[in-house]
Amino acid sequence: MIRVVNLTAALGALGFGYVQDKLGHKLSLALTLIGWLVMVGLAYTATTPGRFWLAANIAGLCLGASQSAGRALVGYLSPKSHRAEFFGLWGLAFKLASILGPMTYGAVVWVTAGNHRMGMLLTGVYFVIVLILLARIDVKRGRRAALKRQA
What are the tens digits of pLDDT across the range 63-89?
999 988 999 999 999 999 999 999 999
Judged against a pLDDT cut of 90, whether residue 16 lies above it is answered with no
Residue 125 makes CB contacts below 8 A (sequence gap 6+) with none
Share of the chain above pLDDT 70, in %: 99
CA dist., res. 81 & res. 63, Å (int) = 29
Q: What is the pLDDT of residues 27-49, one digit of tens each?
A: 999 999 999 999 999 999 999 99
Reported pTM: 0.90
User: Is residue 142 within 8 Å of residue 77, measured between CB atoms?
Assistant: yes
CA dist., res. 116 & res. 75, Å (int) = 36
* Phi-psi sector, 24: left (phi>0), alpha (psi -120 to 50), beta: left
71: how many CB neighbours lie within 10 A of its CB?
16
- Give, in order, the Cα–Cα distances in Å from 46 to each of 17, 26, 56, 127, 139: 30, 30, 11, 19, 37
Domains of the chain: 2-150 (1.20.1250.20)
On the CB side of 23, CA atoms within 13 Å amount to 15
Which of 1, 5, 2, 70 is CA-nearest to residue 31? 70
pLDDT of residue 1: 86
| Percent helix, percent strand, percent coil in the chain, to nearest 5 | 90, 0, 10
CA dist., res. 31 & res. 25, Å (int) = 10
pLDDT of residue 149: 83
pLDDT band at 50 (very low <50, low <70, confident <90, very high): very high
Q: What is the pLDDT of residues 85-112, one digit of tens each?
A: 999 999 999 899 999 999 999 999 999 9
pLDDT of residue 151: 61
